[in-house]
Amino acid sequence: MKRSKAQTRERILDAAYGLFWRQGFLRVSLDEIAARAGVTKRALYQHFRSKDDLMAATLAHSSRLAIARLQGFPRSPRSDQLLDTFFADLAAWASTPRWSGGGFTRVAVELADQRGHPARAIARKHKAAVEDWLTDALAVAKVPSARDRACEVMLLMEGAMALMLIHGDRRYAAVAAKAAQTLVRRRSR
């Protein structure tokens, strides 16, 4: 049975996503991705001009899924409820088998010396979208200076992810949630 172009592209993106997140963006070869997707390297190049383009497309796809997931979070007039849910979801994600941290942060670190890389631009855009979502959610909860508080929560989230990855201890998400709640309460006075 012949696959459509769109199905082949999806298979390549799915294969790349799994390999990039498990092994790192730079350590995965196009040969590995093609083999995992069940396509030839030539077919891969018919869909993506380069590994850089494939990395960017994979991250853009992942970003759309992640932002859609955030949009599904219940809006709450209570900031403590929002922050508990946000960080509990982070802890649950970190408990999945072979969790390897946030891919958008990882790609920015892996490509730190390549400022113009298209995957870094996608990572930056994704982090900005998450911060915008947090800003809106905190504004719904009537948190003053919601943009500043969202920036602080982002710092706590990134720190919690890094420490959960380093120590393998999901309690960092709960500690970050508590710190976020303290920040929001103090700033609201």
pLDDT surpassing 90 at residue 1: no
Please enumerate in sequence order all residues whose Cβ is within 8 A of that of 147, keeping only pairs 6 or more positions apart, or say none.
Answer: 135
pLDDT band at 64 (very low <50, low <70, confident <90, very high): very high
pLDDT band at 189 (very low <50, low <70, confident <90, very high): low
DSSP letter for 77, please: S
| Calpha distance 26→52 (Å, rounded) | 10
- What is the pTM for the complete model shown? 0.87
Q: Are 158 and 92 in contact (CB under 8 A)?
A: no
pLDDT band at 57 (very low <50, low <70, confident <90, very high): very high
- What confidence score (pLDDT) does residue 77 get? 83
Residue range 167-172: average pLDDT? 95
Q: Which of 65, 25, 56 is nearest to 123 (CA)?
A: 56
Please enumerate in sequence order all residues whose Cβ is within 8 A of that of 81, keeping only pairs 6 or more positions apart, or say none.
Answer: none
All structural domains of the chain:
1-48 (1.10.10.60), 50-188 (1.10.357.10)
| Calpha distance 185→156 (Å, rounded) | 15
- What confidence score (pLDDT) does residue 2 get? 65
Angle at 90 (CA atoms; ends 176, 160), nearest 5 degrees: 35
DSSP letter for 50, please: S
- What confidence score (pLDDT) does residue 187 get? 67
- Tokens (6 digits) for 176: 């970050």
- Tokens (6 digits) for 87: 């960080």
pLDDT surpassing 90 at residue 14: yes
Q: Are 25 and 104 in contact (CB under 8 A)?
A: no
- What confidence score (pLDDT) does residue 28 get? 95
